[in-house]
Amino acid sequence: MLEDQYYLKSLSKQFPTIADAATEIINLQAILSLPKGTEHFLTDIHGEWEQFNHVLKNGSGSVKRKIDEEFGNTLSVKDKRSLATLVYYPKEKLELIIQGEEDQEILDDWYKITLHRLVALTKRVSSKYTRSKVRKALPPDFSYVIEELITEKEEVQDKELYYNEIIHTIIRIGRAPQCIAALCNLIQRLVVDHLHIVGDIYDRGAGPHIIMDTLSQYHSVDIQWGNHDIVWMGAASGQTACIASVIRVSARYGNLDILEEGYGINLIPLATFALKTYADTDCSLFTIKYGDDYDTRDMQLDMKMHKAITVIQLKLEGQLVKSHPEFEMDDRLLLDKVDFENGTVRIGGKTYPMKDTDFPTVDPKDPYRLTEEEALVVERLRHAFTHCEKLQRHVRFLFSKGSLYKVHNSNLLYHGCVPMDAEGNFKEVNVYGKRYSGKALYDALETYARKGYYSKNREERQKGRDIMWYIWTGPNSPVFGKDKMATFERYFIGDPETHKETKNAYYRLLDDEEVINRILREFGLDEGHSHIVNGHVPVEIKKGQTPIKCGGKLLIIDGGFSKAYQSKTGIAGYTLVANSHGLNLVEHRPFESAEKAIREETDIVSDTIIVETASHRLHVADTDVGTELKENIAHLEALLEAYMDGSMIEKGV
């Protein structure tokens, strides 16, 4: 009772009168009846910023669907396609149209038609929001004008002249292009209410920093960390094995520009060391998997840097494994198993010939020790990563908006898996002397990861940094989900049997309803109407695999967003759209370029798969936000009752 009274007193400061409390109750109750906002799910973007940007702009087909709903058969297919392209790329499309039309009168007519169409579309996409929420989303330069246009009814005779005069004046004073761009950006903003990124923003593609800048400006987003995100987070915290991994992967895919130009990280110490130390060393195994933008003149240097940082990584990881026996990763200690005289390595009781044993910095008697030059390079790289303002800003964003998993609107989101044994029981994992499984394992690992970045305690911070490396590559990590990361074997051993990375038992149990229900219950969800949204492992359509598992209870939405996977999967990624009508899985074909999309008014070819249709249209009342609003209403009604029975006195009346 005392707590209730204290809470009501606190609430009364915000709503000091009966009228204030009653108005807010009416407002919140009305919001509950609005249609549920659209949620957009993306995963495994892997730096493919141009395709990511396009899918984000088109809302995985949500913009097209709204255009179809609004205009039906009153617009041709060509006009609809043109309107959609304008919404996606207003600045670029406007430049083409203005440059291509010399007759100002024709251009003004186009402005008029386009503004009318965009206003109609804006009305439709804003219809599921309160006027207050729409007002907050309005671009400052045109907030008054757009609000007038989308709230006034032009068909009402008394307002028709007023409405048309607004549009006429916008065109006459030369503000039509800016107003059109503002409307397009507003439509993009309102079509999707919330964005979920289910892991792996980084590595392979050339633009993770561009993606992070975009996400940092997005109106509503959460992120479930993938293993490729965690390794960058560990690198930003100063974990040297993570730093080496980030540089190695960037070098392997011809993306060192991400570090040097995207983030301004100085790689000259590594380049200088590699040129000197590996000058006469065979680096032929360390080829670069480069894309169209790669400058092949850098090839020889990049190969030397690639080999140098790989050897440094193997040494640093060996040191970590030896200092953390609880990680249970002794099988990754392979440098000390190399027979340099015979050019072989012994793994699991079997001897394999090595393709390369030319390691000028490895002492066979103490193979995991860094040379003085290597130690100096590592320290300079650590300083560069921890003092990079842009990288630190991006990683803080990942920590503030992200987590290892999320429960949202009856959906459980995580990147990898829930580690299991062969029988489908949650696997117990040793984390610094304590054993965790299921949800508790996720929580423990996340807590340590946050300590690794934020803790003031030096020992706790070091533990947290090291656990981020474990989350990246550990055999029982929920976001890695394999028995090993066969980095050494893939570089140095020709026998493909050593390259095999065995997936956790979880992945062969995805159609076992008892197992999936157990996971849902473990995370506090109702198994009857909940779903798991999963990324990490590309669905290979070519092999007949399907992203829909366990009758639709689990959805794997990694279909090869990264170009590196598209030859394997046969498509260019999945996305998921959850709106007021149900769940739709969207299968995308490869995206050529934004330039082609703008000039030829093409879109990503996508197929929509209806996963689930709601028995009734979902409203805000059916969401997590609705649950919070209902609680707020209950508290406000208690306050209103207190005012009315005299136990609480109105203020400022």
Name which of 452, 320, 442, 440 is nearest 395 in CA terms.
452
Kindly report the pTM of this predicted structure.
0.94
Check residue 333 and give its pLDDT.
97
CA pair distance 270, 354, nearest whole angstrom: 25
Q: What is the model's pLDDT at position 155?
A: 58
pLDDT digits (tens, 9 = 90+) for 232-278: 999 999 999 999 999 999 999 999 999 999 999 999 999 999 999 99
Q: Rounded distance, CA 414 to CA 536, Å?
A: 9
Better-scored residue on pLDDT, 153 or 33 = 33
- The DSSP result for 461-482, as a single string, is HHHHHHHHHHHHH-TT-TTT-B
**pLDDT tens digit string along 500-531?**
999 999 999 999 999 999 999 999 999 999 99
Give the DSSP letter of residue 258: I
Name residue 101's amino acid.
E
- Give CA separation, 294 vs 134, 252, 259, 298, 308, in Å: 43, 12, 14, 8, 20
Mean pLDDT of 150-173: 81
The DSSP letter of residue 494 is -
Is the pLDDT at 280 greater than 80, yes or no? Answer: yes
- Mean pLDDT in residue range 634-642: 94
CA distance 374 to 369: 9
Secondary structure string (H, E, C) spanning 200-268:
CCCCCCCCHHHHHHHHHCCCCEEEECCHHHHHHHHHHHCCHHHHHHHHHHHHHCCCHHHHHHHCCCCCH
* Mean pLDDT value across residues 623-629: 96
Q: What is the pLDDT of residue 603?
A: 84
Distance CA 414, CA 445 (A): 14
Pinpoint the alpha helices (H) of 361-457: 372-386, 389-401, 438-454
**Average pLDDT of 607-614?**
86
The predicted-structure confidence for 538-551, as pLDDT tens digits, reads as follows 887 777 788 899 99
**Block residue for tokens 């940094």:** 465
Say how many C-beta atoms besides its own lie within 10 A of residue 41's C-beta.
25
What is the arithmetic mean of pLDDT over 478-488? 96
C-alpha–C-alpha distance, residues 392 and 369, integer Å: 29
| pLDDT over threshold 90, residue 641 | yes
The residue-averaged pLDDT of 9-16 equals 93
Over pLDDT 70: what percentage of the chain? 97
Average pLDDT, the chain: 93
Band (1; pLDDT cuts 50, 70, 90) = low
High-pLDDT (> 90) share of the chain, %: 82
Pairing of strands 221-224, 194-197: parallel
Torsion of CA 565, 390, 230, 42, to 10 degrees: -50
Per-residue model confidence (pLDDT) at position 606: 79
Task: Summarize pLDDT for 54-107 with one digit per residue, the tens.
Answer: 999 999 999 999 999 999 999 999 999 999 999 999 999 999 999 988 889 999
Among 40, 39, 41, 43, CA closest to 415:
43
Judged against a pLDDT cut of 80, whether residue 410 lies above it is answered with yes
pLDDT band at 591 (very low <50, low <70, confident <90, very high): confident
What are 99-146's pLDDT values in tens digits? Answer: 988 889 999 999 999 999 999 999 999 999 999 999 999 999 999 999
Which of 158-162, 201-205, 304-308, 586-590 is predicted most confidently?
Answer: 304-308
- pLDDT score recorded for residue 230: 98
Handedness of CA 115, 117, 118, 122 (dihedral sign): positive
Q: How far apart are CA 580 and CA 36, in angstroms?
A: 5
Strand bridging mode 434-436 / 429-431: antiparallel
pLDDT at 163: 86
